[in-house]
């Protein structure tokens, strides 16, 4: 099974494509789609749309995994902006008939680290450990996307 985890954001959208085969996980591809703050919003959303569309066409995932939206009450604009980036990704899932799965951040941390309130660096370290990486991915967005894919794979394995 090929799992595409995406950590959407307007500036840097991280992604990780993971293959689950007989209980083992391997990274097929990982990286970012970045946009410039100097561009107008619609151009940035179009760049995310086209980047994820190309990723879907190139990697042919069986499922796409996103983190559920969480917004702190002090930063409502963050949810609004994040929602727009997520919206174009959800649209692509519908257009390409790819199942979409969402997990809360605490669920991801629990699945990857074992504690729902684990700090970000622990998640990064477990992503490194899971894939035997020699160094941490340059962008935390990539680690977060890979953690989403790990979470989904763990849930699939537990159902077998």
Q: Which of 58, 67, 102, 144 is catalytic?
A: 67
Q: 136-144 — which CB contacts under 8 Å span 24+ positions?
A: 137/30, 139/12, 139/14, 139/32, 140/14, 141/7, 141/9, 141/12, 141/13, 141/14, 141/32, 142/7, 142/14, 142/15, 142/16, 142/30, 142/31, 142/32, 143/14, 144/5, 144/7, 144/14, 144/67, 144/108
- Give the integer Cα–Cα distance in Å for 108 and 10: 21
For residue 141, indicate whether it is catalytic.
yes
Q: Which of 29, 40, 53, 141 is catalytic?
A: 141
Write out the catalytic residue numbers.
Answer: 7, 67, 141
């Amino acid at each position: 099974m090929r799992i595409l985890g995406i950590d959407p954001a307007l500036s840097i959208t991280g992604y990780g494509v993971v293959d689950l085969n007989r209980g083992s996980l391997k990274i097929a591809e990982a990286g970012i789609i970045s946009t410039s703050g100097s561009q107008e919003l619609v151009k940035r959303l179009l760049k995310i749309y086209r980047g994820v569309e190309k990723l879907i066409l190139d990697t042919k995932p069986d499922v796409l995994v996103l983190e559920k939206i969480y917004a702190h009450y002090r930063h409502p604009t963050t949810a609004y902006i994040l929602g727009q980036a997520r919206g174009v990704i959800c649209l692509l899932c519908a257009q390409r008939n790819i199942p979409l799965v969402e997990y809360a951040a605490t669920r991801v941390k629990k699945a990857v680290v074992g504690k729902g309130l684990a700090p970000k660096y622990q998640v990064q370290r477990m992503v490194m450990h899971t894939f035997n990486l020699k160094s941490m991915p340059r962008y935390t967005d990539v680690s977060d996307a890979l953690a989403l894919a790990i979470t989904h794979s763990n849930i699939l394995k537990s159902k077998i």
